[in-house]
Amino acid sequence: MIASKPSGGFSTDEVRFGEYEGEDVLVKYASGANDENNLLKGYRACEHISEAVDFKVPEPVKLVVEDNELLAIEEKVDTEYPSRQDWKNPDFFEQTVHRGVEILNEMHSDRLQCSIKESGLMVSEDRIEQSMTKNLDLLSSETNEDVYQLCREIISAIRENGFERNFSHNDFNVDNMIFESARLTGLFDWEKCGLADRTRDIALFESAIIDEYGMFFHRDKVESFREIIRQDINHRFNPKILRMYRFFQNAVAYSYISNGQCSETWRSIGTNKEIIRHRKKLIERRKQGIKEDVQAF
């Protein structure tokens, strides 16, 4: 089950692999990671987290290596993505918001932050700058020019803000959530974890859950769901920075699905056309307010 050690310098000893055999294995490619040792370090951090928190993380199964290059880590993920009926159920939705906030609070707790730093498993590069800059390439091809330029300005404003960097998942969206019996129980795809602004984790969660599924299925209740995050999240964040991250993520999601890349969850509960129209309206409605936020920095 474990690929032989290539000459690139990393070691399979850096990840503890399970003995799982079967078809229900999700393959998470290391695209954009640019550093195979950081990828392995991220999954070692994931293993460390699994022993310290009350939410589930994936079990690494094997490395995928080709021509001495690490392409991916296969991971066992047992998840049952919610149905359209689940998302339309306000009780399920509120429960998911509460559980997401609990996971964020555990992941961002001082106890876990200290533990990760002391373990030596922290990826030290700025993961936000890395991932957001990479997303600009996608935005330039599928987004109109003013939104693209606004997203460039958002990156600059966030960089100049000098945010505090701490351990973050950095890809907290619905496709990376583990659901069991219609309950959010954990997170997978820790490829991008490392030093980042914790506010981005909050924004990614809110963008996916509230801006997308909440506004799509529960427009009359969406502000009450958003208030749960505002009240229950332990990390104190700058509301303008949060809005910038959310707008950027909405623009990325719009470009992504315009490119024909429907998410795993929407593949089963909706259509590209539905969510494209929804995201486009969201971007246009918020564009002016975000311009004002950016200009305030």
Domain map of the chain by residue range?
Answer: 12-76, 84-295
Per-residue pLDDT at 144: 79
Does 27 score more than 70 pLDDT? no
At position 63, the amino acid (one-letter code) is L
Per-residue pLDDT at 267: 67
Does 21 score more than 70 pLDDT? no
Does 176 score more than 60 pLDDT? yes
Give the pair of three-digit tokens for residue 5: 């050690």
Give the pair of three-digit tokens for residue 38: 């950081």
Better-scored residue on pLDDT, 9 or 119: 119
Exposure string over 10-47, b if 16+ CB within 10 A, otherwise e? bebeebebeeeeeeeebebebeebeebebbbbbbbbbb
How many CB atoms lie under 10 A from the CB of residue 269?
20
Better-scored residue on pLDDT, 192 or 262: 192
Per-residue pLDDT at 246: 92
pLDDT tens digits for range 58-87: 877 777 777 777 777 777 777 888 888 999
Does 100 score more than 90 pLDDT? yes
pTM value is 0.86
Q: Confidence class of residue 99 from pLDDT cuts 50, 70 and 90?
A: very high
- Find the helix packing angle between 222-232 and 90-107, rounded to 10°: 20
Least confident stretch, 17-26, 135-144, 157-166, 217-226: 17-26
Residue for token digits 């399970």?
18
Q: Tell me how far apart the alpha carbons of residues 255 and 135 are, in angstroms, rounded to a whole number.
A: 9
Per-residue pLDDT at 93: 96
CATH number belonging to domain 84-295: 3.90.1200.10
Residues 6+ apart with CB under 8 A from 231: none
Per-residue pLDDT at 263: 65
Does 148 score more than 50 pLDDT? yes
Better-scored residue on pLDDT, 9 or 46: 46
Query: Percent of the chain scored above 90 by pLDDT?
Result: 26
Residues 6+ apart with CB under 8 A from 120: none
Per-residue pLDDT at 37: 67
Instruction: Report H helices in 121-208.
Output: 127-142, 145-161, 198-206
Q: What does the pLDDT average to over 216-233? A: 93
* Bridge partners, residue 56, by sequence: 186
Least confident stretch, 188-192, 210-214, 255-259: 255-259
